[in-house]
Amino acid sequence: MTASQRPEPAEPGGRNTTDTDPIRVSFRRYAGVRTRVLEVGPQAPASTDRAPRRVLGKRATARGHAKPTAPRLVLLHGYCDSGDTWRPVLELLAAAGVPAVAVDLPGFGDAQPLRPGPMLPQLDAFAAAVIKEQAVLGTVVLAGNSLGGTMSLRAAENHRLPISGVVSIAAPGFVDSWLIRTVARYPLPLRMYSALPLPIPGFLVRAVAEQVVPRLLYANATAADADQVRRFTALFPDYRSTTTRLEQARQLVEELANAYRLEEIRVPLLVVVCGKDKLVSAASGRQLHALVPHSRLMVREDWGHCPQLDDPVEISELLTYFSAGASRPSKIAARVAAEVSEDTVAG
């Protein structure tokens, strides 16, 4: 092969730079919130903020659509993140022929802001609308990172939603890290920062964020993707936005104190624990696993808070195998669950 015939180098998600982007981007409305949707695989009917006409067990059907077959992954991101965090995974899922959708949650990315008042009920209504839409075309499996993990667990507690399984990655609210506990206590330094009479210059806020973000989200800060870091730091363009995010985070931590009814979870649950997570401790995931007796536990000591950024290949394979098993309550599902369990011991 000559130099002129060599293919362009592949991007992190595995797609060559000359290939057409397999991810479709659109804007839809769920529970009254307009948001951006990233999707691969067969497309669900456009959301009209109405539930499908009929819900049969764990699978929703709509008149005029073929019988649902393949499982569909719904990917939920964490606090101060967006659906873009799942882009590398979505590209790999597209190549494997696995249908999946990631959305910007209310208040983040290109979604409309959250309304005043409690945050989790608003996010619950939003997630339920996404799940019902996607269930029209297949069995729904939820996968959530951080706040998205919390939302996935809360959705699984709602038996009226057509969910076949949940993957919870670094969900907070059990045994949290020093940083989350610090936000909850709202100590004097944070109060002083929010009360400063003269705003800190935006360029200084962004400079600090560029140093902090890779250390919080990645297992290895030096391996952080520059585009992903820029995406996160764009959430903190100035002093005012930073104080707003801080107040919002404090409210969310307070709501997490009574966020779960884990005894209501009956669907297959895989708890993913990340050993290098600096935001949610490994003990938190182990506690979640202990509180849901039928759950499976996977421990990866080499992953940080956002393993979809650290290792999109492994995450995409994990989600593919889990969704295949969760959507088939049979011997195949038992075998897949057993394989996951073996990987856990090895990790």
* pLDDT 10s digits, 177-220: 555 556 555 444 444 445 544 454 444 445 555 556 666 666 67
The tokens describing 82, both together, are: 């967006």
Q: Where are the domains of the chain?
A: 24-40+68-329
* Res 64: pLDDT: 45
Strands of the sheet containing 296-300, edge to edge, are: 24-30, 33-40, 100-103, 72-76, 140-145, 163-169, 269-274, 296-300
By mean pLDDT, which of 117-126, 201-210, 225-234 is the weakest?
201-210
Beta bridge partners of 106: none
* pLDDT mean over 159-177: 90
CATH topology (fold) of 24-40+68-329: Rossmann fold (3.40.50)
Residue 163: what are its φ and ψ, rounded to 5°?
-115, 135
Q: What percent of the chain has pLDDT over 90?
A: 50
Residue 252: C-alpha distances to residues 55, 122, 129, 172, 222 (Å): 32, 12, 21, 10, 30
Which are the contacts of 125, defined by CB distance < 8 A and separation ≥ 6? 31
The mean pLDDT value of the chain amounts to 78
Alpha-carbon distance of 232 to 217, in angstroms, equals: 10
DSSP H or E run through 227: helix 226-233
The tokens describing 165, both together, are: 């399984």
Reported as a pLDDT band with limits 50, 70 and 90, residue 3 is: very low
* Res 29: pLDDT: 97
* Res 143: pLDDT: 98
Judged against a pLDDT cut of 60, whether residue 42 lies above it is answered with: yes
334 vs 153, more confident = 153
